[in-house]
Structure 1
């Protein structure tokens, strides 16, 4: 009996140390909120290789070919060397239709490559490509978007330089170049300030092969006197030098784009 009393007393001392543990209260979690989808139109800037709707030049492919034919400038160095071939150029059409990242994939000459780059950079805005998926360039996974959005895309073009498209001059292009070099009157202000650059002109040939007009394509903003001199100079070329004598141009008129290079000595 005495031992039972002692045992009970001993248990009373132990219970406070070995009581039953209570489970901790669960943490309070914030209410679940579904994440909103990312705005790919603003956030995704990769180039889409296969947009569902391809980017398009205003007016379509025929309008693009017309733009290239009407605005391609032929350097005199190409005519002198009777150079022909293609320049392959690649560029990016941005989401707003503007042109960026122009690069030559396969060139023909420094002069040709330079003129092609300028031609592409000055194109009007395209209609951008559209897609409801986008290509993740880091994981090569295609993910779905909620809406069709404009995307960046690339385009590759061959620009042809064919001697069959150039007017054939009776005394050759060496004679024309020598005449232009010898008769160029450098504007005094441009010479004093050492202004240099190129004035781009379009030569309009009549059915007879004679030049009937010279039109300014692109002048020098810092030298309007140079623009006037370039037009005066081209109009002053004698008929025996500038008259095209190839039957393929008759009986329809044609044009030819080139430039006058202003470089102070």
Structure 2
């Protein structure tokens, strides 16, 4: 019988294990077979999970089978609508073309096209502005109708689920699955997602052209201290956030935490006018990333910065193209360009030799960021310039291909070494995402209740289900990039947990008895709303790495001395004014990150002096 609804299962095959003796269930679910108590049966059916059971003492007994949900893969509706006659969708699924499987009349590729188009053409969809990622279950009945459309993550957008239900049920002419010519129901699962998502942490973060040092050089050179703020002695940090989109443009610029008196507006102006950024990448695809940065206002910020040359500007900002680096391609690029006198910009950027397109795209992006005043100072509109740029993977070697150059002013060669380019700006703990990703605790329990690793990153979760405690074998939990304001008290039951990552959420505190998670070795709590160092952390004697960057912590408790095994402590972008004496007794501490805190240079020098073997990183 079906375990879900107790309905009889027709045409199930029952075999006595280790023999060829068997039987088939009838439409009432009954079968007959000569067996002895203790014998084992193997029960199979295309619509149910293969099961094994031992024969009990009773003459009659009940066998309950779990439904087998065939995975139709994941469908992102961001690519719709499409013309099915011109576009072939590639979707991984468990389905084969066979009588044992229900079939969409026009084929599986057409199903994905028709289904996606049906969703986006629904009038309610045009009013839906949210992202969603729904794990949908549905049944194709023995009559070929779609029924029982439901989702495992019911907390998600109900409007989206309603649209999906309506779209699926429109397709009521399926060819049902058959066993020995008899039609039977079959069960399917599919992930439907709409990704308008903005990431906080990605594999390759967004980065200003030239790196963060060049970016902050731009800030220092161009910041105009508001006169009223200067007069009133207003100083401090303006925390500003913005989105780097897939092309490297900066959007959605706003102040998260300001100091007023014109400083907030000046911070927004600086970001709006800042040089171009390299876009972020996640799994090889350009995505959007939200960045939060401090801009510091103090009287020293207005001190003039030494002007650099055109060549130095290009050299400090150019990087080795990511695809060329991955494919081990080297090249020396000769590029010519001119100056548009009216627009004060570089024009007619042209390669003079045969090169990979990735190199030219990188060069044009950097040229686009050159400030107009630097162009005016060094370059003339009547001149053609030729700039050689050598891209090398490990070390510089001349070995240039012979090339005949046109008339023009030849500038000094710029050298770009791959190993020196594109280093992520902010040190973070290793957020290992090799575990299979689900979209809710319920879905993960449904598929893998014995999971040792669980990743629920960027799923828009407002709360974490108390069912998390049911993962008794969990050693790794990643909750990055959600909207969690707290963790359930039940999380402390995960006594085998060794790694916990909850960065980029909204946590104000940790659960009571958090110190019961005594197996924890790595904790990532960066970019939350913690106003103080959670004292329960100091009771985790096995802790080796702790990231609390991007919070509002001002004070480190002396109890930190209990963390005898601590190796890495990340405290960037807090409001820390001093460190306790006890911290200097942590013999295994290898690195402490203290960038962007309220520590003076004198204090930092003292801290470095007191730590004998520990590296202090402040930028």
Q: By the TM > 0.5 criterion, same fold?
A: no
- Normalising TM by the smaller chain, what interval? 0.3 to 0.5
Task: Identify the structure with the greater helix proportion.
Answer: 1
The structure with higher relative contact order (CA 8 Å, sep 6+) is 1
Q: State which structure, 1 or 2, has the greater radius of gyration over its C-alpha atoms.
A: 1
TM-score, normalised to structure 2's length? 0.19
